[in-house]
Structure 1
Amino acid sequence: MAQYTPMIQQYLKIKSSHRDAFLFFRLGDFYEMFFEDAVKASQFLEITLTSRDGGTKERIPMCGVPHHSAANYIKQLVEAGNKVAICEQVEDPKVAKGVVKREVIQIITPGTVMDHNLLKETENNFIASVAFGEEEYSIVLNDLSTGELKGYQFRGDASMLMQEVQALHAREVILSSRVYEEIAEPLRLRFQITSSIQDESEVPGPFAHLLGGNESPLLKEACGRLFHYLLHTQKRALEHIQPVSVQHLNEYMKLDSFSKRNLELVETNRAKGKKGSLLWLLDRTVTGMGSRRLKQWIEQPLLMPEQITQRLGVVEELMQEFFVRQELRDQLKKVYDLERLAGKVSFGNITARDLIQLKHTLGSVPGIKQSLSQLKNPYSLEISEKMDLHENLFDYLERSLHDDPPLSIKEGGIIKDGYHEELDTYRDASVNGKAWIASLEQRERNETGIKSLKIGYNRIFGYFIEVTRSNLSQIPEGRYERKQTLANAERYVTPDLKEKERLILEAEEKMVALEYDLFLQIREHVKGYIQSLQELAKQLSGIDVLQAFATVSEEQRYVKPVLSGSNRVEIINGRHPVVEKVMDAQEYVPNDISLNSERSMLLITGPNMAGKSTYMRQLALTAIMMQIGCFVPADQAELPLFDQIFTRIGAADDLVGGQSTFMVEMLETRYALKKATSESLILLDEIGRGTSTYDGMALAQSIVEYIHHHIGAMTLFSTHYHELTVLESELKSLKNVYVSAIEEQGKLVFLHKVIDGQADKSFGIHVAQLAELPTGVIERAKEILLDFESNDNSPKKAVKEAEKAAEEDTQLSLFAEETRSSKKREASAVEQELKSLNLLEMTPLDAINALFKLQKKVK
């Protein structure tokens, strides 16, 4: 190190402790990067790579960004999965001896961002911490911007862990060194999730109360790992982190990552965007925290009938009480992001403008409380009664802060007049001093007769009297003291002006410093309300989601579902909520769905594009909508509570993971078969299509039989293997249904109606025709199909031949068995006759004749 300059030595020493982060090293008005950081950052951020002397023969690579615009550059790096360590000057350069002391004051990572420029208003930013046992693991999920802390416990291996981390939408995951080696790279490549190492897992004392009475060793370990990582990266107290909420499996429906993706709950598969998802359809919330809460509800439907009934009751009344609902919407529009404001207070980066937003939010609460009190639903009234108005805090902010403060908290103009006596004194001196200067300017003009004379100010020279060169002769001798000469003017001062300048600047300097101190006191005072503000945020965001349910339910003609007490599904004219929304509702064909203990499996046949997948998805989405407390798209709906939903719909591969489409299909199916219970819903679409016909058909039938015999879950199974329809006669709970289509003048017309029975043929060539494949391809396909149907080698004939061969084998086996039985009977008779012969009384000739007869009988 000795070869480098002291400043570069300081940089290298700090960088050695943050090897996995870009080090933003503060030098004046810039954040500078050196060596490899500079090379990588210049390429990624597309900024100029330069160099500087560092004390060696070779110049050191360097690049930098202005500190006032650093947020945009940090955002680019963090969104790409990188970490950024912010290194600031921590001593005054005026008093520093040698190199100014610098320290890393914060490490910004994908899972710990707090700057509003780096956060999406309607989405949580989760960081996960993992503790792994022999056959189980624990995940703790935290959103640092809101303080939410959730704990999960699962059984499974590393592969299952990765799926769960993805399903929980974590941006970053904290692992022990041992687990990091195994899954960090797959998480990065397959799911674009950043991994970090933290081996210390003992829960720090200041965070112990957040665990409550939870004694799970794995959960404690995961929490400890998280807390140590947050302290290391954020380097400050984190009072806003909420007590851990353990998510029990008997309270929420389990939705794996496959099902969330296949059902397009929060984003679409193709565009990876919100539009076209269930979240997009239902999100009629008016606050950012309401939108985040809705997403959480969609991904964690309830298994608690009482809470579902409560939510449905509020939605029903809000649909009936249009004016109350509209009042709530109007008042909620004035509510700012209370969750993240509370987080900013604790984090210490809240501004005066943020606190004004907090004041406006609190000012809207009385109106919201009043609107809720007009409802008769017990749950609404309970929320209204528990809602804390925070009147004292509102009054405090109203008295202390200007309504339109500056963005910076160090420039003054934040505190209201009358709040603090000493501040008012400084303000008076400043205001009166400036008034004195204005009157002085007018007096000097009058006495000198110089109309263009003016009094100005700059930071270098302070206050001055400026006279243009053409008017210098009018200045009385000895009136002014020369201060500065310009090309076209002269600047002067007087003893009175210098004295007034001292008083004004002293007052302004003290005023700004005092305002800053007073603001810090206000911020500290608000910290005492963090927990109650977080509780208020939960209440407001929950109400926002319920009014959104009522709004969309009324617009889309949804009905209140009934919780089934007999484990059955009865849906009359059910619809796929998203498909109906994006197409003309009058063109949408609704369908009934009926499932019960005697009809728990539906085998669905019919042509491609006829609506099989839509029919399957709409049942799952209807169930999820009911279990989050929303009305559902149907004329009538009765459903049970599903503990889990498993889906295998659509084609997808995992090229990065080295898995083909068929392997992904099998893995998703395996997951369903291993995890499903009799209270689950299973949706399987075209299982077995990724392999040969006979392999696929055998797998499909075996899977259907396994679900029927060993799981007993309600199941929708769509297939093109028409041969499987014979299972209806073999499996008592399986029923055939098909999506109808008709052929008119050689054209295929989809009716999109699901009815009992089985499709009589496939329509693959017709679908290809609808897709406008070249005419030559279509005609040739028809010829080949006719050839298959008439040729002994056609797949259909092959199946029939296989069936015939099997039947012949059976007949031969029966014949052979009968022959063996006959021979056994004959052998038994010969044995009896042989035993009855008295060989001692027979002549040799008699014995030979008897043996000859017996031999004839057994041949």
Structure 2
Amino acid sequence: MAKIVDTPMMVQYHEIKAQYPDAFVFYRLGDFYELFEDDAILGAKILELTLTARNKNSENPVPMAGIPHHAAQNYIDILVDQGHKVAIVEQMEDPAVAKGMVKRDVVQLITPGTKMLGGAGADKENNYLAALRPNGNDLAMAYIDLSTGELKATTIGNFNDVIDELSSLEVKEVVLRKDDELTIKHQVANQLGERGLVISWQSDVTANATVSFLTQPLTSIAETETTAMLLNYIFDTQRRNLDHIVPATSYERLTYLKFNQDTRSNLDLIENTRTKKRAGSLLGLIDETKTAMGGRLLKQWLLKPLREQQEIEKRLDLVQAFQNDFFTRGALQDDLKSVYDLERLAARAAMGTMNARELVQLKKSLLAIPSIKTTLSATEGVLYDAGDKLDSMVDLAGLIDEAIVDDPPVSVREGNIINDGFDEKIDTYRRVLTDNQKWLAQLETDERKVTGISSLKVGYNKNFGYFIEVTKANINKLEPDRYERRQTLTNAERFVTPELKAHERLIIEAQAKRTEREYELFVTIRERLKANISRIQKLARLVARLDVLASLADVADNRRFVRPTFTSHNMIAISQGRHPVVEALLGSGEFVANDVMLDEDNAMQLITGPNMAGKSTYMRELALIVILAQMGSFVPAEQAELPIFDQIFTRIGANDDIAMGQSTFMVEMAEANLALREATAHSLILFDELGRGTATYDGMALAQAIIEFLDAHIHAKTLFSTHYHELTALADRHDSITNVHVGAVEDDNGELHFLHQIQEGPADKSYGIHVAALAGLPRELINNATTILSHLESDDVVTDHQLVQQSVTSEKHDESQQVELFNVDAVDSETEKVLEHLDKLDILNMTPVDAMNALNDLKKLRKK
């Protein structure tokens, strides 16, 4: 069989594809981008394209799918959003003058981490691309948002913290060093890939002046090398000017309040865990920002609250100043509504992708700054100082206003973007065009008069130029040879004259020169902006900060938040604290507020009470108040005195991680282990129903051991909710442990009513059967369960005092002895069978039907 020989075009395609084997190659052919071979087959499926073939009639047709170049961005976004890369191949020379095969090359590689976000739904989101390199036992990490130029670096001690930082930043793509591939491929790349991250590889390259400048602020060699690798990857893939990237800054994770992805999810910080939407989250509640960059900054503050009290107080001072001056805040926010995304506009100017409409957006944004400065200059103190720092940039705003029309077209190469009077040459060309248009109109009038044909018209067609059109019904009225025939239509004939040809040349020449001159001036103005990008970016940061602080003041006013105070005595004193999201969902006056009091002598609360009564809400509201306070926000309470926390740990909810091979109980123990190993006396720990994922004896033993370990070794502020009522006796042995419970009352009809109020002391019982009744379980089942519970409670049970004496931390305790709930030796054989059967039940994993069957089995055992 003869060897298949590629055409020159396919040879060129294969050479490019070999350089980008993991990317879809969009190969430009005329007005289309074409996909070939495997790219075409997969691309047609993902993008719902028609799959065709090149050389259909040959023995080996090449699969092919095409995309119009003007609609390519939508298709690129679909592929990139699904984790793919797209290499854009353009013609590098004019096909009309090219000799042989037209030269083509990749002009940009678009990846999940380099996609330029923007527009509705994405304007308040960052799109970070990260890079990692091992540094001894640590990992150096750098990340960048190409759409804003933000560039940061850090060093992280262990891989789990790296994963958590990547999750917090919502990174979609990670760059690794190609030369490290053999040593870290299985350790890092595979684990990142399992979590859905796109992995890219970059070889080391010689440092250049740009990389050296951008990494100069970094002092760590590892961070410098990692950042340089990230920048080289950006330069290699984007192949365009990136002057908007700001010099890198290094940060320490420990300078911020630390909490992991589980805590972010448990507290619904960024999105509602159930719906996966911003609505129903803390961010959704407090985001009253008016600008895209303000929205992004607010999210960053929420994810990285501060630990430096002085910096927190600076933010709180401005929030309070805005809250105290309603009219200044309102005027500022009205002006902010006119401010577009300065960060991303600056980036587009640097990369040469800014169009005239975006120039107008920048102008409108800059024209709002003098008004903002005037508003703030009428105040005193911190608001005046904040306004004084703003650069009005009247020079750039004036330039754009003078040069660019108010409503320019999207395309910058078709003219009509420069104002009259800005450039003499453009004005001259426009006069020529205007004069010729008048001449054409006069020509039409004169020819109608001379020929007597009232329907005669002078028109234009881009393929045939200017013409005189006469309907065929009137052709006989024309003098012979008056016009030169140019085109025949079904119902008309089109003609030209020497004079019309001459004016056509003048018009086309003037249009071409005008369009060319307008584009030149537009590029000149854009270059002027590029020279001032650092000014625009600084202004953007200051405006975003004002936007966030005014937003927080709005929230404080509208939702009755108060300014928190910070104490060095490691004391929590919250009066009438509230869960802000739950309160908003319930409506005004329906949420029951609670006090939270913990000090140096009382570090832990054991919380008991029925399900659905509000234990988890009480725990979560404390964490949210801490996060809000340390990000520089007022908090939902009547009064709040807090220490500065270093970390927050949560174990809330019953979740498994099947993908990583972890059961619900394993996840529970892993999260508990993280807290026990990393928490300090300055941490906040929230443990909700710890130990419930296993058998009763095991769960209670572990819960008690964890409580006593926290009390003996860590001394962190801890809220520990439990249904193991026997654990409440620990408060008698440990001075730092206090019992509280969520109040509930049972009416004369046996119905349970939740008070949602935290009260001192332990709950008298769990009310589990009452909650089951509220859930709608069959009445027969509820009655049966009540009977069984009565029998169990009537038997001799180990007292609370006896349980505590069995503490695993007690010197008298036999470590091999199982903590017992019931004194089995004191019951009869019939009850013993019931208890043994009951002990084998896995309540957490039972369906309602399973529960009914289990209760029926217990009933049968009791009757035997």
Is the CA contact 2:729–2:801 (under 8 Å) kept in the aligned structure 1?
no
- 1:832 counterpart residue number: none
Query: 1:806 Cα deviation (Å)?
Result: 11
Query: 1:330 Cα deviation (Å)?
Result: 0.7
Q: 2:188 aligns with which of 167, 179, 183?
A: 183
Is the CA contact 1:26–1:88 (under 8 Å) kept in the aligned structure 2?
yes
Give, in whole Å, the separation in 2 of the partners of 1:352 and 1:591.
Answer: 56
Give, in whole Å, the separation in 1 of the partners of 2:49 and 2:138.
Answer: 47
Is the CA contact 1:4–1:54 (under 8 Å) kept in the aligned structure 2?
no
Q: Which moved more, 1:203-212 or 1:403-412?
A: 203-212
State yes or no: 1:651 paired with 2:658. no
- 1:432 counterpart residue number: 435
The verdict on how the C-alpha distance between 1:202 and 1:179 changes in structure 2, with shifts beyond 3 A counting, is farther
The verdict on how the C-alpha distance between 1:230 and 1:323 changes in structure 2, with shifts beyond 3 A counting, is same
- 1:450 counterpart residue number: 453
Aligned pairs (5 A) from 1:40-189: 40-53=42-55, 57-114=59-116, 116=118, 120-156=122-158, 158-176=159-177, 177=181, 178-189=183-194
Q: 1:365 aligns with which of 359, 366, 369?
A: 369
Unaligned runs of 5+ in 1: 814-859
Alpha-carbon deviations, 1:254-278, whole Å to 9, x = none? Answer: 1221211111110111111111111
- 2:409 counterpart residue number: 406
Alpha-carbon deviations, 1:378-433, whole Å to 9, x = none? Answer: 2x222211111111111111121111110011111111122222222222212211
Give, in whole Å, the separation in 1 of the partners of 2:718 and 2:446.
Answer: 94
- 1:768 counterpart residue number: 772
Give, in whole Å, the separation in 1 of the partners of 2:58 and 2:357.
Answer: 48
Q: Which moved more, 1:382-391 or 1:276-285?
A: 382-391
Unaligned runs of 5+ in 2: 815-864
Aligned pairs (5 A) from 1:29-44: 29-44=31-46
Query: 1:663 Cα deviation (Å)?
Result: 1.1
Query: 1:803 Cα deviation (Å)?
Result: 8.2
Is the CA contact 2:36–2:63 (under 8 Å) kept in the aligned structure 1?
yes
- 1:317 counterpart residue number: 321
The verdict on how the C-alpha distance between 1:636 and 1:171 changes in structure 2, with shifts beyond 3 A counting, is same
Q: 1:416 aligns with which of 419, 425, 432?
A: 419
Q: Which moved more, 1:45-54 or 1:436-445?
A: 45-54
Q: 1:256 aligns with which of 260, 264, 269?
A: 260
Is the CA contact 1:266–1:279 (under 8 Å) kept in the aligned structure 2?
yes
Query: 1:537 Cα deviation (Å)?
Result: 0.5
DSSP-derived class of the 2:659 partner: coil
- 2:606 counterpart residue number: 603
Residue type of the alignment partner of 1:60: V
Aligned pairs (5 A) from 1:207-356: 207-356=211-360
Alpha-carbon deviations, 1:680-711, whole Å to 9, x = none? Answer: 11111111111111211121122112222222
Query: 1:102 Cα deviation (Å)?
Result: 0.9
Give, in whole Å, the separation in 2 of the partners of 1:170 and 1:777.
Answer: 50
Is the CA contact 2:726–2:803 (under 8 Å) kept in the aligned structure 1?
no
The verdict on how the C-alpha distance between 1:734 and 1:597 changes in structure 2, with shifts beyond 3 A counting, is same
Alpha-carbon deviations, 1:506-546, whole Å to 9, x = none? Answer: 11112112222221111111101111111100111111111
- Identity among equivalent positions (%) equals 47
Is the CA contact 1:317–1:375 (under 8 Å) kept in the aligned structure 2?
no
The verdict on how the C-alpha distance between 1:700 and 1:413 changes in structure 2, with shifts beyond 3 A counting, is same
DSSP-derived class of the 1:276 partner: coil
State yes or no: 1:468 paired with 2:459. no
TM-score (norm 2): 0.90
DSSP-derived class of the 2:469 partner: strand
Give, in whole Å, the separation in 2 of the partners of 1:344 and 1:806.
Answer: 65
Give, in whole Å, the separation in 2 of the partners of 1:271 and 1:193.
Answer: 22
- 1:784 counterpart residue number: 788
Give, in whole Å, the separation in 1 of the partners of 2:728 and 2:505.
Answer: 97
Is the CA contact 1:71–1:117 (under 8 Å) kept in the aligned structure 2?
no
Q: 1:737 aligns with which of 740, 756, 759?
A: 740
Is the CA contact 1:313–1:377 (under 8 Å) kept in the aligned structure 2?
no
Query: 1:167 Cα deviation (Å)?
Result: 2.2
Query: 1:55 Cα deviation (Å)?
Result: 10
| Root mean square deviation, CA, Å | 2.3
Is the CA contact 1:561–1:636 (under 8 Å) kept in the aligned structure 2?
yes
Give, in whole Å, the separation in 1 of the partners of 2:643 and 2:427.
Answer: 67
Give, in whole Å, the separation in 1 of the partners of 2:813 and 2:606.
Answer: 34
Is the CA contact 2:727–2:800 (under 8 Å) kept in the aligned structure 1?
no
Query: 1:811 Cα deviation (Å)?
Result: 11
TM-score (norm 1): 0.90
Residue type of the alignment partner of 1:630: S
- 2:568 counterpart residue number: 565
- 2:707 counterpart residue number: 704
The verdict on how the C-alpha distance between 1:708 and 1:78 changes in structure 2, with shifts beyond 3 A counting, is same
- 2:444 counterpart residue number: 441
Give, in whole Å, the separation in 1 of the partners of 2:631 and 2:807.
Answer: 51
DSSP-derived class of the 2:19 partner: coil
Give, in whole Å, the separation in 1 of the partners of 2:807 and 2:399.
Answer: 88
State yes or no: 1:667 paired with 2:670. yes
- 1:757 counterpart residue number: 761
Give, in whole Å, the separation in 2 of the partners of 1:688 and 1:507.
Answer: 82
Residue type of the alignment partner of 2:417: I
State yes or no: 1:722 paired with 2:702. no
Is the CA contact 1:738–1:758 (under 8 Å) kept in the aligned structure 2?
yes
Alpha-carbon deviations, 1:426-464, whole Å to 9, x = none? Answer: 222122111111111111112222111100111221111
Alpha-carbon deviations, 1:660-685, whole Å to 9, x = none? Answer: 11111111111122221211111111
DSSP-derived class of the 2:658 partner: coil
Is the CA contact 1:283–1:548 (under 8 Å) kept in the aligned structure 2?
yes
Aligned pairs (5 A) from 1:515-526: 515-526=518-529
Residue type of the alignment partner of 1:469: K
Runs of 4 or more off by more than 4 Å in structure 1?
796-807, 809-813
DSSP-derived class of the 1:86 partner: strand
Residue type of the alignment partner of 1:352: A
Give, in whole Å, the separation in 2 of the partners of 1:384 and 1:299.
Answer: 27
